[in-house]
Amino acid sequence: MDRSNPWLSWAYIHDNWGDIAFRLSQHTSLTIEAIVIAFAIALPLAAAAHFAPRLAGLIVGTSSVFYTIPSLALFGILAPYTGIGRTTVLIGLVSYALLALLRNIVTGLQGVDPNVVDAGRGLGYGRIKLLWLVELPNAFPSVIAGLRVATVTTVALATVGVVVGFGGLGQLMFRGFYRGYNAEVATAGLLCVALALVLDLGLLILGKVMTPWLRGTRG
């Protein structure tokens, strides 16, 4: 091990805390914004696929096309139209998050117990009211699972945004690799892992809080 260039260095963190905190904040806000936008798009699309099953294949299939495009290639395709910076990275991250969210929301809605749906109809609920008050609450565990997968994936993919000048912690990684500075690379990598774990844990707790009726069934 090269003691003059360690992988872990408190001195590096102390001397560069301002830059590290800024990049971490940038990475966090980019991830959360991408997931919020992707969810806002995925929810009505999943509802449309649920209402019209013939559309399900088309909707999920279209999102799958975006997912198969390598991130570097997608950012390169977008850059001439959306410029260099946050917007390009955000569009790419939203595109990738859509598939996980769509699949899980659609699967969750399709998996709701028909007897529960019939009970809602018996109460006089219309199609929209049935969706919001019966089907979505029962599909919530699947929705949370999709959010967790999409969020962890987005944390990782956001680092690639460095190729178009907005990569959050990816900026530290790239700079560390370029300069051969091990501590910079390791610090950025560990913070990415920590961020993914914190966001995932937050969503897990949210899922438990929002589905109190499931606690008694898991004894």
Q: Label residues 45-79 b or e (16+ Cβ within 10 Å = b).
A: bbbebbeeeeebeebbeebeebeeeebeebbeebb
What is the predicted pLDDT for the residue at 53?
79
Q: Measuring CA to CA, how many Å separate 6 from each of 86, 175, 180? A: 32, 16, 11
Note the pLDDT of residue 1: 46
Joined together, the tokens standing for residue 31 give 């991830």
- List the single range of 3-7, 18-22, 28-32 with lowest mean pLDDT: 3-7
Higher pLDDT: 3 or 127? It is 127
- Residue 159's CB is within 10 A of a number of other CB atoms, namely 21
Report the distance separating Cα 20 and Cα 54, nearest Å. Answer: 48
- Whole-model pTM: value is 0.89
Q: Regarding predicted confidence, which is higher, 150 or 216?
A: 150
| Residue whose token pair is 């501590």 | 183
Report the amino acid identity of residue 20: I
Exposed, middle or buried by CB within 10 Å (0-12, 13-18, 19+), for 175?
A: middle
DSSP state, residue 134: I
| Confidence at 81, pLDDT banded by 50, 70, 90 | confident
Q: 98: which residues sit within 8 A by CB, 6+ positions away?
A: 38, 41, 42, 63, 66, 67
- Tens of pLDDT, residues 14-26: 999 999 999 999 9
CATH class for the region spanning 10-212: mainly alpha
The whole-angstrom separation of Cα 24 and Cα 198 is 13
Q: Quick check: 10 and 175 in contact, CB under 8 A?
A: no
User: pLDDT band at residue 3, thresholds of 50, 70 and 90?
Assistant: low
Q: What is the pLDDT of residues 43-66, one digit of tens each?
A: 999 998 888 878 777 887 877 777
pLDDT digits (tens, 9 = 90+) for 160-208: 888 888 888 999 999 998 888 899 999 999 999 999 999 999 999 998 8
> What stretches of 52-168 show up as alpha helix (H) in DSSP?
53-68, 71-82, 86-110, 114-122, 127-130, 136-158
